């Protein structure tokens, strides 16, 4: 067996470098240094087996390494690992007792001996791959010296190779036969080399003999000339004759030797042809055996894959059984996870709400400290001059009480007022709302907006002092009016004589209801001009003062005393769902036009005498109903023009709703021409619209706007004088005089019933009472 150790490693490296150049790769490969970066070897491996050493593997080899020996070593390690994996996975061989190349010496010092070992491994991959015949043929075409070194390297490498795993007996016999064939091939190659060497020696001898023959012929010619000049060569006794005989004898011997050598040469040539034929047959047998070996290896691999698949199927069946058992328990786990997610969501919402409350509390606390430090002399009222009375309204965090103020705004004596305050358990947001209401009330001043008298902000809790509304909320007032009973049954009907003595307790007419709506629209028009958005306009937040005067307010602290379906609880508190506009519900947008929507709901409350909006519909369903265009139907006793105004207020687009100035004009027109009365006995609202909140109103005597008692029976002349100042100017014998209000102020003469001055004058209780008396 040959050994590379008998050869110089440098010679091996040079020979394998020559063999590498036959691949014609793109990278330069003329010197040993060209191969140290690994690029040439990687490209050669890709040509040997493009399927295994694909582009992805080749891209891992860095081409631009320069003189960086660390990058060279990294490339060489990848190549060495790829060669070993290729031998193990593709060729099914394992190299034993073979010293692997030291990539550090190759990359750092360009060691030729270690590079030769690396190229020897690549040579092993080439002669064992699928295209090995092509590469063996290329080796046979190289120089004999290079062939000898390459074949020696192949034999050494094949002696170190062994199959990865022992197969069946047939595979072992096949491998043994393959090795035997390889040895015979090597012996034939050696015999061929010896015969070729012998032919070369014989050619050299023939050339030497031919040269010697030429020299002898030349010498013979010279001798012939000399013979001709001297003695005849035919004479054997002469020196020339003897010399001639010797040369002739020697020539014959040389000719015989030449003939013998030529015959031997022909024999060797025939022997060489026979050996070449035998080599061709051995190669064919080698190819057949290699094919059988590949088939056996593929069958063995297929058996291994099937065995592995069988084991995998068994494991998967066991896993399926375990998963079936786990799936039974998964339902409980999912329910637990769902409950935990819901709890987590609730906790997160609570955390966000608490953080928001804390932030607002800090802001409210700082604002309260500012109020405490900065006393406003204009609005500050001495706490000692305020005597608190009974509670008018109460909520979870605050309440409103009736109180008596001494020397309020420089007035002599005592004044009945209402005081808004917080409870001890009030949240910072409630304190912020109270402070916000305080700031708003300081800015407004209108007859139909609740009036602020002052505040107590020092040395105690914050108290807001506002004017006292005798009859409470408009909703309670409207519901209480149902208990009064029928007043006027219509034009020409009988009347209740007690209503003349107590005008605020008389039965409500449709004119009164329109008057209430008109007063509220006046106040909302003022707030709109002040760029203020109410956000909670409803009958519960409208107060009824002396003389049935409407006062817009917002008792937000006592909001919780009303029915639960009025608000939906959210992180920022309760919101009045049934009074809110669509854009406020879905987009949290609050504008004056959203107050117009709420005013339309307020009109519905007024016409139904305090009925609940959207009866029978829970707030949760109201969102989708409003979005699909659902609106409340026209109530009983509601005129078409009033219901038309409601629908205009409930337009989907805010810019298509009327403004409060236009609403006031429409209500003014309806107010001055309306003369029919509401027959409460004939048309009682349905039970779904009636709600008794249990609050009782104080009974008061019937007085006019100057608190003067009204008589039960009035003469017609007194009515005419009170209503027109004198008789109608068109009446014969009468002349017009300026019209005066009930409080004595001059208004001018109203020539037409729809005059706005006449409408303003009709707001007084005396005028309303006089009109009722005059019509009946």
pLDDT digits (tens, 9 = 90+) for 381-395: 888 889 999 998 887
| Measured distance CA(1)–CA(15) in Å, rounded | 20
Half-sphere exposure of 268 (CA within 13 A, CB side): 19
pLDDT at 449: 93
Q: What b-and-e string marks burial along 339-378, b requiring 16 or more CB atoms within 10 Å of the CB?
A: eeeeeeeeeeeeeeeeeebeebbeebeebbeebeeeeeee
Please give the backbone phi and psi of residue 36, each rounded to the nearest 5 degrees, phi first.
-70, -20
Please give the backbone phi and psi of residue 95, each rounded to the nearest 5 degrees, phi first.
-85, 115
Q: Which two tokens stand for residue 537?
A: 């306009």
Do 456 and 380 contact (CB within 8 A), yes or no?
A: yes
Q: Nearest-CA neighbor of 7 among 186, 150, 190, 183?
A: 150
| Measured distance CA(644)–CA(670) in Å, rounded | 12
Pairing of strands 93-95, 386-394: unpaired
pLDDT at 258: 93
Please give the backbone phi and psi of residue 629, each rounded to the nearest 5 degrees, phi first.
95, 10
pLDDT at 398: 82
User: C-alpha 604: how far from its chain's center?
Assistant: 45
H-state helical runs in 674-764: 716-724, 756-761
| Measured distance CA(103)–CA(101) in Å, rounded | 6
Q: How many contiguous H segments (helices) and E segments (strands) does the chain have? A: 23, 13
| Measured distance CA(449)–CA(477) in Å, rounded | 17
> Residue 299 in 3-state DSSP?
helix
Q: Give the CA distances from residue 98 to residues 41, 93, 94, 153, 707, in Å, rounded to whole numbers and listed in that order.
A: 20, 13, 10, 12, 125
List of residues 6+ apart from 434 with CB closer than 8 A: 398, 420, 422, 462, 464, 557
> Residue 143 in 3-state DSSP?
coil
| Measured distance CA(580)–CA(582) in Å, rounded | 7
pLDDT at 375: 65
Half-sphere exposure of 416 (CA within 13 A, CB side): 9
| Measured distance CA(521)–CA(759) in Å, rounded | 14
Q: Which two tokens stand for residue 720?
A: 């005419």
pLDDT at 697: 33
> Residue 747 in 3-state DSSP?
strand
Question: Which residues does the annotation place in the binding site for ATP?
Answer: 420
Count CB neighbours of 590 within 10 A: 16
Q: So which residues are the catalytic ones? A: 536
User: C-alpha 549: how far from its chain's center?
Assistant: 56
Residues of the chain with pLDDT below 70 are 1-8, 161-177, 179-180, 227, 229-236, 240, 364, 366-375, 396, 484-505, 555-574, 674-776
| Measured distance CA(769)–CA(655) in Å, rounded | 39
End-to-end CA distance of the chain: 143
| Measured distance CA(750)–CA(758) in Å, rounded | 6
Do 77 and 69 contact (CB within 8 A), yes or no?
A: no
Please give the DSSP secondary-structure letter assigned to residue 710. Answer: P
Verdict on whether the full-model pTM lies above 0.85: no
| Measured distance CA(44)–CA(468) in Å, rounded | 104
């Amino acid at each position: 067996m040959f050994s590379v150790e008998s050869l110089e490693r440098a010679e091996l490296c040079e020979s394998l470098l020559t063999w590498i150049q036959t691949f014609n790769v793109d990278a330069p490969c003329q010197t040993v240094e060209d191969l140290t970066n690994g690029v040439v070897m990687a490209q050669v491996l890709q040509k040997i087996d493009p399927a295994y050493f694909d582009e992805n593997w080749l891209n891992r080899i860095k081409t631009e390494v320069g003189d960086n020996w660390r990058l060279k070593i990294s490339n060489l390690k990848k190549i060495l690992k790829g060669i070993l994996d290729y031998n193990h996975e593709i060729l099914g061989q394992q190299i034993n007792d073979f010293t692997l190349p030291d990539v550090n010496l190759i990359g750092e010092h360009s060691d030729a001996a270690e590079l030769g070992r690396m190229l020897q491994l690549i040579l092993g991959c080439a002669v064992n791959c699928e295209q090995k015949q092509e590469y063996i043929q290329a080796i046979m075409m190289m120089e004999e010296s290079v062939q000898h070194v390459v074949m020696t390297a192949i034999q050494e490498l094949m002696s170190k190779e062994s199959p990865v795993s022992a197969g069946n007996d047939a595979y072992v016999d096949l491998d043994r036969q393959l090795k035997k064939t390889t040895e015979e091939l090597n012996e034939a190659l050696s015999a061929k080399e010896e015969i070729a060497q012998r032919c070369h020696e014989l050619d050299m001898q023939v050339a030497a003999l031919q040269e010697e023959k030429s020299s002898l012929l030349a010498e013979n010619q010279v001798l012939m000339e000399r013979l001709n000049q001297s003695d005849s060569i035919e004479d054997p006794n002469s020196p020339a004759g003897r010399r001639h005989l010797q040369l002739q004898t020697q020539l014959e011997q040389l000719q015989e030797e030449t003939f013998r050598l030529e015959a031997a040469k022909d024999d060797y040539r025939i022997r060489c042809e026979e050996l070449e034929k035998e080599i061709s047959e051995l190669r064919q047998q080698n190819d057949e055996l290699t094919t059988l070996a590949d088939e056996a290896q593929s069958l063995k691999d297929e058996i291994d894959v099937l065995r592995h698949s069988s084991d995998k199927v068994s494991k998967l069946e066991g896993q399926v059984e375990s998963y079936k058992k786990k799936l039974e328990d998964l339902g409980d786990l999912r329910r637990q996870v769902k409950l935990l997610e819901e709890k987590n969501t609730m906790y997160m919402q609570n955390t966000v709400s608490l953080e928001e409350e804390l932030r607002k509390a800090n802001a409210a606390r700082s604002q309260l400290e500012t109020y405490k430090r900065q006393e406003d002399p204009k609005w500050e009222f001495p706490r000692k001059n305020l005597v608190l009375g009974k509670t008018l309204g109460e909520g979870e965090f605050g309440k409103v009480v009736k109180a008596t103020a001494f020397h309020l705004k420089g007035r002599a004596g005592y004044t009945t007022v209402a005081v808004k305050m917080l409870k001890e358990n009030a949240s910072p947001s409630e304190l912020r709302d109270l402070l916000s209401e305080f700031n708003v009330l300081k800015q407004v001043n209108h007859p139909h907006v609740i009036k602020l008298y002052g505040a107590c902000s020092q040395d105690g809790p914050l108290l807001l002092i506002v004017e006292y509304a005798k009859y409470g909320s408009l909703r309670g007032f409207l519901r209480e009016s149902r208990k009064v009973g029928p007043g006027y049954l219509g034009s020409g009907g009988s009347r209740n004589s007690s209503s003349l003595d107590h005008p605020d307790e008389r039965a409500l007419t449709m004119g009164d209801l329109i008057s209430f709506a008109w007063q509220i629209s006046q106040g909302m028009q003022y707030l709109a001009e002040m760029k203020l958005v109410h956000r909670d306009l409803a009958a519960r937040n409208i107060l009824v003062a002396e003389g049935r005067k409407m006062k817009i307010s917002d008792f937000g602290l006592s909001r919780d005393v009303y029915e639960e379906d009025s608000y939906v609880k959210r992180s920022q508190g309760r919101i009045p769902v049934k009074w809110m506009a669509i854009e406020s519900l879905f987009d949290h947008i609050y504008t004056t036009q959203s107050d117009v929507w709420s005013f339309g709901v307020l009109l519905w409350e007024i016409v139904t005498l305090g009925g609940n909006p959207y009866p029978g519909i829970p707030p949760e369903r109201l969102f989708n109903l409003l979005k699909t265009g659902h609106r409340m139907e026209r109530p009983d006793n509601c005129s078409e023009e009033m219901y038309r105004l409601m629908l205009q207020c409930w337009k989907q687009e805010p810019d298509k709703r009327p403004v409060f100035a236009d609403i006031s004009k429409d209500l003014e027109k309806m107010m001055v021409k309306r003369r029919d009365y509401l027959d409460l006995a004939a048309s009682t609202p349905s039970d779904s619209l009636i709600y008794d909140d249990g609050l009782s109103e104080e009974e008061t005597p019937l007085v006019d706007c100057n608190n003067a008692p009204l008589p039960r029976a009035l003469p017609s002349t007194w009515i005419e004088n009170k209503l027109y100042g004198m008789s109608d100017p068109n009446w014969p014998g009468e002349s017009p005089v300026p019209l005066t209000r009930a409080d004595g102020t001059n208004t001018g003469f109203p020539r037409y019933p729809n005059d706005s001055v006449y409408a303003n004058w009709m707001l007084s209780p005396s005028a309303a009472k006089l009109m009722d008396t005059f019509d009946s």
